Structure 1
Amino acid sequence: MSFPDTAPFGRRRFLAASAGAALAATALPGCAASVDDDTNSGGGDKTLTILSGQNEMDAKTIKAAEAALGVKVRLIESDPTKLNAMLAAKNPPDLVRAQGATETPFYAARGVMADLDPYFAKSEVLKVSDLDPVNDVWRFDGEKQGTGPRYGMTKDYSQDSMFWYRTDMFEAAKLDLPSDTDPLSCDEWLDLGKRLVKRRLGKVKVYGLNIQALGSVFLPMMGMTASAGGRVFAEDLASVDFSSPEALKALQWYMEYARADIGPNVVNPNPDGWDWPTYQAGRMAMAGDGYWFGGSIGAEAKVAAVSRFAPAPQLGSTRVSPCFSASGYWIPKDAKNKDLAWKFFEWYFGGQPATDRASSGWGIPTLKSLRPKMPQSTAFQKQAFQVQEQELAHFSVLTCSPYALTTSLDAVINKVLPGAIKSGTSAGKVADQLNSGMNELLAKGKAALQ
């Protein structure tokens, strides 16, 4: 079986690559495909170039940044092809929006990220002692994520294996509500999903649950494997092993979930594209989304009245509750305005924007001093806050490999699993296929860095 040619670049190849190279399809997960829609906005004499999405770096935010920093902000819509071209030309943006949890090892290993430790050491706004532990996903020492130089910072985050559920659907099915403190086992979670799903004429009318809210299958399985006491990546991060007892158990669980067709999966994805429209319309009983999802729920009083938050289900006895995103920004090593980019860091991560985000319910603030700003005025907000506070004790960093982006590994899953799900292929054979495809990518990535 052949697999998608999405192997990552080595340091030299990465910097010399053309914009159309294979990495472009997977470098920045979830980014738009267009590379032509640059947005320029008026401001001061200096220009700060930011690669980000307009949904996050909107006109209001740009205007506020220009006023606060006395600069002109040039927004480039997030696009991996354009980023690669700019890095290759040694003319990168001043700031790059990325997923710290999954992308830091990849870019750090290629030497394109600026070490921000000297900036943090001098800052009166962003003090290392005030940083939430999630910011450690932006650290990489060449072998392990979570230690070493600090390359970026998270704007806000969630523990992405937690889930929201609708009490009205549980009550209609005469099911007990999940505990606020004790996590369900993954098997209990799956059983609830099977009981809560509703079908009409053989098609799903109401999903029982969704476990792949971030669009990835690899990441939830990595988390499940960790909770079972194992790991998907080898110690040197150069290979995966889905044949290990713990990883195979996670794979078997996902295949049962997909074959039961009780939620969005690799065979039948959610046509809505993401959970909120589905959940809001009463067509999803349990949504595997982190705390951030409460920002949408809290804005709809009727939905909030029947919604509650729950701890991350566990596949085994090693309780973990990781973050799979940690969206934020990094500064390229070759950026022309690193000092100005750092001023943006201090304003965006430690100034009014950070305070506004903390009080919005759209994520956990990444400065510990801002945590009291999290909304707690309604019964819905209080329940979510209390559950989230208890869950923080179980946060952990799950190291990703520097040799391939998780989007590349998910591409292998998306090639192998649909046919295997439909044909009834055993989990053992699927594990062998995943190992073959992913390890080929990882080997190419490792060779390219040597």
Structure 2
Amino acid sequence: MPISTTGSFDRRRFLTVSASAALAATALPACASSVKDDSSGGSGGGKTTLTVMTVDNEWDKKALKAAEQALGMTLNIIIADPTKLNAMLAAKNPPDVVRGFGATETPYFAARGLMTDLDPYFAKSEVLKPADLDPVNDVWRYDGQNQGAGPRFGMAKDYSQDSMFWYRTDLFDAAKLDHPGTEPLSHDEWLDLGKRLVKRRLGKVKVYGLNATGMGVFPQLMGMTASAGGSVFAEDLATVDFSSPEALKALKWYLEYAQADIGPNVVNPNPDAWDGPTYQANRMAMSTNGYWFGGLIGGDPKLAKVSRFAPAPQLGSERISPCFGATGFWIPRDAKNKDAAWKFFEWYFGGKPAQERAASGWGIPSLKSLHSRMPQTNAFQKQAFELQQRELDSFKVLNFTPYAQQAALEGVITKVLPGAVRSKTSAGKVADELNTRMNEQLAKGKELVK
């Protein structure tokens, strides 16, 4: 069955939609009551109808029909919308399967009792065997206190280590700069390269030297802080502390990056809205997007010839290369067709669709047995594959708070940082403002979790 190769667009579109409804999500009920595991179908004994909330280009009409034939059921598609999802969850009439970000959403929904524990299904499956699950799937686990432990509540369709970056060798050569190697740069070295590679005309940026925040500012600050040996969140995940030495170091770095105006930032966002068109047009030297971005690059032989992949830069001594997405699906606790939903899981994550996604180059497969299917035909693909395989050992689950969604915390950043960048406010004062505003959000969210 043909599968859409626009996974990157899906991910970015879903992120944008989530941001537009950041505060609505805090209205979820504290806990969903248990329901009978009625997985008989919901269509009066006839053909099962499975309601799937996903992005609008998950399947075209032909692919959707083929999916229904393969599954032997009707797929009722609801376009992903956080406000609609929250309303359906509150009414205890949710979709059977929901698309989301495991890395940043699992604690939020699991802490509210809204997700189905999938361990019993994994234990019985002949298709999705726990021993074959890539470690990234641990972001879909939550034990009530820590992410990465406890029951599995979902699974990634594919993933990237999102602090890695792509670079254009032609722009490096024109600037007479050495190419990044297989060992990670320090963030200071990375920033220096960005400053050397930026090109301006009449005071405006013509070619970005670096985009340092492909998946958002907050996740990158999380990753940088972890690399420095700390955490943005307190141990109980109920507060943030950007005044800690490690988080403050990360914040200082981002403020310097934004003030240097060498790449898209909170003051001057990219008019293209994302890196793809800019990088393709030879107007961005380094793009912080993980392995999935290679699917775009690989579609243009000329672009692939001058593009290479590099490890995640490090702010400190902790070698960490995190994932901030792990986009996949989960089954709500109140879903009416759980067995049918699991059949969808086995087909989507372990069947032909998963095999085709693996071969497309638009993400790392979330089953270890499918890694060998990643494209390795030409020099561009081989370099990216070999570099990515080395990077896998540096993956680590970073705890995300259960008390707020990423979009809400990102919203605080977009309110506080632009003015701070323009006025060159000290990092210490910016940290205090972020702490105050974010901790207010987190306190409200904590009240809803019992």
Q: TM-score when scaled to structure 1?
A: 0.91
Deviation at 1:212, TM superposition (A): 1.4
Name the CA distance, whole Å, in 1 between partners of 2:311 and 2:425.
Answer: 32
| Counterpart in the other structure of 2:229 | 229
- The match for 1:46 among 35, 48, 51 is 48
Deviation at 1:350, TM superposition (A): 0.2
Deviation at 1:406, TM superposition (A): 1.4
Look up the SS of the partner of 2:29 in the other structure: helix
Matched letter for residue 261 of structure 1:
D
Contact 2:255 2:427 in 1 (8 A): yes
| Counterpart in the other structure of 2:187 | 186
Name the CA distance, whole Å, in 1 between partners of 2:198 and 2:57.
Answer: 32
- The match for 1:84 among 74, 83, 86 is 86
**Alpha-carbon displacement from aligned partner over 1:294-337 (angstroms, at most 9, x marks no partner):** 00000000000000000000001111000000000000111111
| Counterpart in the other structure of 1:431 | 431
Name the CA distance, whole Å, in 2 between partners of 1:297 and 1:256.
Answer: 29
1:212 aligns with 2:229: no
| Counterpart in the other structure of 2:198 | 197
| Counterpart in the other structure of 1:354 | 354
Name the CA distance, whole Å, in 2 between partners of 1:64 and 1:343.
Answer: 15
Name the CA distance, whole Å, in 2 between partners of 1:377 and 1:401.
Answer: 41
Look up the SS of the partner of 1:329 in the other structure: strand
Matched letter for residue 374 of structure 2:
M
Deviation at 1:9, TM superposition (A): 3.5
Look up the SS of the partner of 1:322 in the other structure: coil
1:334 aligns with 2:334: yes
Name the CA distance, whole Å, in 2 between partners of 1:442 and 1:60.
Answer: 44
Name the CA distance, whole Å, in 1 between partners of 2:406 and 2:272.
Answer: 23
Deviation at 1:126, TM superposition (A): 0.3
Q: How does 1:116-195 map to 2 (within 5 A)?
A: 116-180=118-182, 182-195=183-196
| Counterpart in the other structure of 1:255 | 255
| Counterpart in the other structure of 1:102 | 104
Contact 2:49 2:75 in 1 (8 A): yes
Q: TM-score when scaled to structure 2?
A: 0.91
| Counterpart in the other structure of 1:319 | 319
Matched letter for residue 375 of structure 1:
P
Matched length: 418
Contact 1:162 1:288 in 2 (8 A): yes
Relative to 1, partners in 2 of residues 1:223 and 1:5: Cα closer, same or farther, differing over 3 Å? closer
Relative to 1, partners in 2 of residues 1:15 and 1:129: Cα closer, same or farther, differing over 3 Å? closer
Name the CA distance, whole Å, in 1 between partners of 2:88 and 2:69.
Answer: 27
Contact 2:223 2:322 in 1 (8 A): yes
Q: Which consecutive segments of 4 or more residues in structure 1 shift more than 4 A?
A: 13-16
Matched letter for residue 411 of structure 2:
A
Structure 2 residue ranges without an equivalent (≥5): 1-20, 34-45
Relative to 1, partners in 2 of residues 1:282 and 1:349: Cα closer, same or farther, differing over 3 Å? same
Name the CA distance, whole Å, in 1 between partners of 2:286 and 2:207.
Answer: 10
Deviation at 1:401, TM superposition (A): 0.3
Look up the SS of the partner of 2:402 in the other structure: coil
| Counterpart in the other structure of 1:292 | 292
Look up the SS of the partner of 1:164 in the other structure: strand
Look up the SS of the partner of 2:448 in the other structure: helix
Percent identity between the two aligned chains:
71
Name the CA distance, whole Å, in 2 between partners of 1:243 and 1:59.
Answer: 51
Look up the SS of the partner of 1:218 in the other structure: helix
Name the CA distance, whole Å, in 1 between partners of 2:434 and 2:24.
Answer: 15
